């Protein structure tokens, strides 16, 4: 009885040892039960430590992931820059195409505002009626 318990305890120890070396604790517990805990422990000691392999794999995976993240942010940056460039292009073309009259109204509409006495809407200074409430506006 006593030796059976000791044997079982040794098998559990082998399983514990196996899990520490990156191997299946359950599988090695069973192997220890079937063969012998001492022999299976020796086999385990001889076998390659999988935790080292796993650590190497993990770091290389992390490196890959980091590389991927960098490429992703790079492409995102490229897309943003392209978009900005296109907008700049359009802005450039816009001013080139715009005739003097349009430029004047644009300037006017962006600078000269008055406010409706009735509703407080922001209205172009040249308007004679409020577009919001229809109140007749005093000329100034």
Of these, 63, 118, 124, 127, which contacts Zn ion (CB under 5 A)? Answer: 118
Rounded to a whole number of angstroms, the distance between the first and last alpha carbons of the chain is 112
121 belongs to the binding site for Zn ion (CB under 5 A)? yes
Please say whether the dihedral angle defined by the alpha carbons of residues 30, 31, 35 and 41, taken in this order, is positive or negative.
negative
- Asked if 137 interacts with Zn ion (CB under 5 A), we say no
Q: What is the DSSP letter of 36?
A: -
Which of 108, 132, 138 minimizes the C-alpha distance to 120? 132
# of chain residues touching Zn ion (CB under 5 A): 8
Q: Which of 51, 54, 82, 132 binds Zn ion (CB under 5 A)?
A: 132
Q: Among candidates 8, 25, 7, 24, which has minimal Cα distance to 16? A: 25
The window from 25-33, 59-67, 76-84, 125-133 that contacts Zn ion (CB under 5 A) reads 125-133
What does the alpha-carbon distance between residue 117 and residue 114 come to, in Å, rounded to a whole number? 9
Give the residue with the Cβ less far from Zn ion, 79 or 133: 133
Quick note: the x/- pattern for Zn ion over 73-112, rule CB under 5 A, is ----------------------------------------
Residues in contact with Zn ion by CB under 5 A are 116, 118-119, 121, 130, 132-133, 135
């Amino acid at each position: 009885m006593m030796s059976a318990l000791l044997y079982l305890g040794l098998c559990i120890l082998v399983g514990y040892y196996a899990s520490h070396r990156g191997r299946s604790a359950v599988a090695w517990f069973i192997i220890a039960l079937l063969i012998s805990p001492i022999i299976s422990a020796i086999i385990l000691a001889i076998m390659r430590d999988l935790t080292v392999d796993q650590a190497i794999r993990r770091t290389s995976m992390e490196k890959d992931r980091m590389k991927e993240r960098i490429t992703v942010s790079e492409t995102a940056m490229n897309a943003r820059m392209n978009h900005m460039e296109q907008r700049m292009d359009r802005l450039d073309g816009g001013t080139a195409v715009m005739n003097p009259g349009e430029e004047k109204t644009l300037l006017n509409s962006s600078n000269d505002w008055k406010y409706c006495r009735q509703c407080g809407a922001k209205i172009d200074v040249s308007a004679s009626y409020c577009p919001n409430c229809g109140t007749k506006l005093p000329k100034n």
